[in-house]
């Protein structure tokens, strides 16, 4: 199974009413050299300035980004290229990231190559260390910049450290 760490930046809290601005993905493997980055044109007239500000882009910039259907087609093709078997979606906050990726795949392509499952890195770490009040973020090497490839890379680094330091039984393809 291929684990793909994903991070999403959006201009609001939910897909459809608001837009996914950009996202990054990285195959979780020691080299961390297979990445995907997409910037998507806004699909909604609604946007929250404070949410958009996190991404570092202006509203005017997002209106000039790539067609969301084309980006999701490119992402699906990239997943098919890098994944062995069923790919597994994993993210720092899959309650947020998953809803956007899943919605965009279903809305624009009619299906999600990840299927119906995702994994939350924070919850996984809490289970491994048996402590609901701890946080994995200190395990990142790459600085959390809100550029989604950087953030996905840092989270992938943390997962690799959880595997190495805590003996997490996970098979990385």
- For residues 9-41, one letter each, b for 16 or more C-beta atoms within 10 angstroms of the residue's C-beta and e for the rest, the string is bbbbeebeebbbbbbbbbbbeeebeebbebbbb
**How remote is the C-alpha of 141 from its chain's centroid?**
17
- Residue 106 is a catalytic residue: no
149: which 2 tokens?
């490839």
Which residue among the candidates 116, 144, 146, 147 is catalytic per the annotation? Answer: 146
- Is the separation of the CB atoms in 154 and 145 below 8 Å? no
Interior angle at CA 30, CA 32 and CA 135, nearest 5: 85
Enzyme catalytic residues: 146
């Amino acid at each position: 199974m291929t684990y793909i760490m994903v991070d999403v930046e959006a201009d609001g809290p939910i897909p459809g009413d608001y837009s996914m601005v950009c996202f990054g993905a990285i195959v979780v493997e020691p080299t961390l050299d297979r990445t995907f980055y997409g910037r998507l044109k806004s699909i909604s007239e609604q946007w929250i300035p404070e949410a958009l500000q996190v991404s570092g882009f202006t509203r005017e910039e997002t209106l000039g980004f790539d067609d969301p259907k084309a980006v999701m087609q490119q992402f699906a093709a990239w997943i098919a290229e890098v994944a062995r078997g069923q790919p597994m979606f994993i993210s720092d906050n899959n309650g947020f990231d998953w809803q956007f990726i899943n919605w965009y795949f279903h809305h624009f392509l009619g299906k999600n190559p990840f299927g119906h499952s995702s994994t939350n890195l924070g919850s996984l770490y809490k289970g491994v260390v048996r402590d609901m009040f701890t946080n994995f973020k200190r395990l990142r090497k790459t600085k959390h910049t809100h550029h989604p490839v950087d953030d996905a890379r840092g989270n992938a680094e943390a997962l690799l450290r959880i595997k190495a330091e805590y003996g997490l039984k996970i098979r990385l393809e």
